[in-house]
């Protein structure tokens, strides 16, 4: 649901992010929890770059999704 909201708000298709969540759901949950535990937006973006480098091009959308999942 959060992914759909981000897609609709930005009028984009987040196929890489959706594929990651579908293929590695347990890891995705852990990574989104870690993002929500990070203090600042900078810390969250650093976590995305280090823990999910394959999604670095969609980092701001990953961040939006994490915020909606809080």
Tell whether the model's pLDDT for residue 1 goes beyond 90.
no
Tell whether the model's pLDDT for residue 55 goes beyond 90.
yes
State the DSSP code for 39.
S
pLDDT category of residue 48 using cuts at 50, 70 and 90: very high
| Domain ranges, ordered by start, for the chain | 2-68
Rama region for 11: left / alpha / beta (φ>0; ψ in -120 to 50; rest): left
Q: What would the pLDDT profile of 10-47 be if each residue is shown by its tens digit?
A: 999 999 999 999 999 999 999 999 999 999 999 999 99
Q: Could you give the CA distance from residue 47 to residue 21 in angstroms, rounded to a whole number?
A: 17
Pick the closest to residue 14 from 2, 25, 24, 26 (CA basis): 2
Give this prediction's pTM.
0.89
Q: Could you give the CA distance from residue 7 to residue 65 in angstroms, rounded to a whole number?
A: 10
């Amino acid at each position: 649901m959060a992914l759909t909201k981000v897609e609709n708000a930005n009028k984009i298709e987040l196929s890489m992010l959706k594929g990651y969540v579908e293929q590695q759901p347990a890891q995705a949950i852990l990574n989104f929890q870690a993002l929500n535990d990070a203090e600042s937006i900078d810390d969250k973006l650093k976590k995305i770059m280090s823990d999910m480098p394959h999604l670095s091009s969609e980092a701001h959308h990953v961040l939006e999704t994490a915020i909606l999942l809080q």
